[in-house]
């Protein structure tokens, strides 16, 4: 264990959130909503596709646990910072289900905390090691998907990005959150009367060195604290959030992120909220003997990441298989571009994105931390083509760089070890 990482994610608050969320999985009101979500997914056209049927059950269980993690941590009088939307794991003496949904990024650590517009909060933040390549603190008037808020995840009420933070000399800073203007205070976010949630994203490229920021939140002023909700009320709240996540997830899949595109293309990059960067989405549908070859201009971004999801837009296994590649993991072409091969079986190409045997799924490319944020990123997707595996060598041309099965095994072994560094604090 690296002492410098102790307590980054494995905090007492995280223990409390996970234990309470696990209890919610057994609550009758929540179990009923899980059954409803299962029926909604079964009725969706994606369920009739082989890729949708194969992943449906896991997708339901993971989005359910995501809703539970959010639902047990919604009281602004008693805020906790909770790590959410991540891969399943065994740590701290318990098995924690996955909570992947909504095109979660394998390179991100997502954390949330409840805040309101009447209270004052301090978030103490500490960098460990190399920190992370990009981070943000964003506030919203709702929890994701709540009360029909489907289209404004990239439209927060306010927030701060990593390039706006003033650090102390020891690698720390204090973030203040309250209803008052900054009035010269650094690292301040002003809330509105209907503010409900703080969303924190830490993006990491070099898994061997970069770590999420350590942080803790404290409510330092405001109205008299409300008493904590009992298990019955929490179960109903978690059920409400599961219904909301179910609806927004399917809406993203059908309407905004993926619904407009033909299979085996990436759309023109679109801008993310508060100059977070750009993203391009698409679906893949490949025959057993086919691969998708994609070439991308990185636009000089300090972070790029390409990740695959199932048809329910939950990330594929990105710990034990190479279903995602970021700028530190992928090999660059001689001209500065990146070429990737998406396939169900290992073609031997180093920048292979592993579908885990699935022939159908979705994908998202992300550009973040650009030196300057242009208005558009047209042309960043250089080419996308379906090719026969037997023709892969010629299709790759000068980009061809193959590795042996033994080399691939070492890459995966290193990937597993580096990902688990996030758990060091257990």
Q: Residues 187-220: pLDDT tens digits?
A: 999 999 999 999 999 999 999 999 999 999 999 9
What's the CA gap between 211 and 8, in Å, rounded?
8
6 pLDDT more than 80: no
List the single range of 76-85, 263-272, 305-314, 367-376 with lowest mean pLDDT: 367-376
What's the CA gap between 279 and 301, in Å, rounded?
12
In this structure, what DSSP letter does residue 270 have?
Answer: E
pLDDT for res 259:
67
Q: Are 161 and 232 in contact (CB under 8 A)?
A: no
Q: What is the rounded radius of gyration, in angstroms, for the C-alpha atoms of the chain?
A: 21
Please, is 62 exposed, middle or buried when counting C-beta atoms within 10 Å of its C-beta (0-12, 13-18, 19+)?
Answer: buried
pLDDT for res 3:
33
pLDDT for res 151:
56
Per DSSP bridges, beta strands 108-114 and 270-271 are unpaired
pLDDT band at 425 (very low <50, low <70, confident <90, very high): low
5 pLDDT more than 50: no
pLDDT band at 75 (very low <50, low <70, confident <90, very high): very high
Per DSSP bridges, beta strands 277-285 and 270-271 are antiparallel
3-state secondary structure 275-333: HCEEEEEEEEECCCCEEEEEEECCCCCCEEEEEEECCCCCECCCCCCCCEEECCCCCCC
Residue predicted with more confidence, 290 or 274: 290
β-sheet bridge partners, residue 135 = 202
pLDDT band at 30 (very low <50, low <70, confident <90, very high): very high
426 pLDDT more than 50: no
Q: Are 156 and 209 in contact (CB under 8 A)?
A: no
Across all residues in the chain, what is the average pLDDT?
A: 92
Does the CA dihedral 44-46-47-48 come out positive or negative? positive
How many residues are listed for the chain in this entry? Answer: 426
The CA distances from residue 88 to 58, 140, 304, 310, 318, in Å, are 11, 27, 24, 16, 11
79 pLDDT more than 90: yes
150 pLDDT more than 90: no
Question: Tokens in use for 164?
Answer: 């706006």
The closest of 6, 123, 2, 142 to 70, measured between CA atoms, is 142
**Between the CA atoms of 100, 146, 238 and 216, what dihedral angle is there, to the nearest 10 degrees?**
70
4 pLDDT more than 60: no
What's the CA gap between 181 and 316, in Å, rounded?
42
In this structure, what DSSP letter does residue 402 have?
Answer: B
């Amino acid at each position: 264990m690296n002492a410098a990482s102790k307590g980054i994610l494995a905090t007492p608050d995280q223990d409390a959130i996970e234990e309470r969320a696990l209890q919610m999985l057994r609550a009758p009101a929540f179990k009923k909503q899980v059954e409803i979500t299962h029926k909604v997914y079964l009725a969706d056209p994606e369920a009739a596709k082989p890729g949708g049927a194969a992943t449906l059950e896991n997708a339901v269980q993971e989005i359910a646990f995501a809703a539970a993690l959010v639902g047990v941590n919604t009281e602004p009088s008693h805020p906790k910072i909770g790590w959410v939307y991540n891969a399943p794991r065994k740590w701290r003496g318990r098995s924690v289900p996955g909570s992947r949904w909504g095109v979660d990024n394998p390179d991100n650590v997502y954390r949330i905390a409840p805040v309101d517009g009447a209270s004052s909060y301090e978030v103490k933040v500490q960098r460990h090691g190399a920190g992370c390549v990009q981070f943000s603190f964003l506030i919203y008037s709702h929890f994701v998907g709540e009360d029909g808020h489907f289209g404004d995840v990239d439209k927060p009420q306010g927030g701060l990005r990593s390039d706006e933070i003033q650090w102390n000399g020891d690698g720390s800073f204090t973030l203040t959150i309250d209803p008052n203007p900054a009035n010269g205070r650094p690292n301040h976010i002003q809330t509105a009367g209907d503010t409900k949630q703080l969303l924190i994203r830490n993006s990491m490229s070099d898994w061997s060195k970069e770590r999420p920021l350590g942080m803790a939140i404290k409510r330092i002023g405001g109205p008299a604290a409300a008493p904590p909700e009992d298990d019955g009320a929490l179960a109903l709240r978690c059920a409400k959030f599961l219904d909301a996540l179910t609806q927004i997830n399917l809406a993203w899949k059908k309407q905004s992120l993926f619904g407009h595109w033909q299979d085996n293309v990436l759309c023109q990059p679109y801008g993310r909220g508060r100059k977070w960067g750009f993203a391009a989405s698409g679906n893949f549908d490949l025959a057993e003997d086919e691969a998708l070859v994609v070439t991308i201009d990185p636009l000089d971004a300090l972070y790029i990441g390409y990740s695959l999801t199932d048809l329910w837009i939950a990330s594929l296994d990105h710990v034990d298989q190479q279903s995602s590649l970021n700028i530190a993991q992928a090999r660059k072409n001689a001209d500065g571009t990146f070429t990737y091969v998406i396939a169900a079986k290992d073609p031997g190409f180093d920048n292979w994105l592993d579908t885990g045997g699935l022939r159908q799924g979705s994908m998202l490319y992300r550009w973040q931390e650009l030196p300057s944020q242009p208005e558009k990123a047209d042309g960043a997707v250089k080419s996308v083509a379906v090719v026969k595996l037997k023709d892969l060598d010629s299709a790759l041309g000068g980009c061809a760089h193959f590795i042996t099965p033994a080399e691939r095994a070492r890459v995966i072994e290193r990937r597993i070890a580096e990902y688990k560094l996030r758990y060091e604090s257990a």
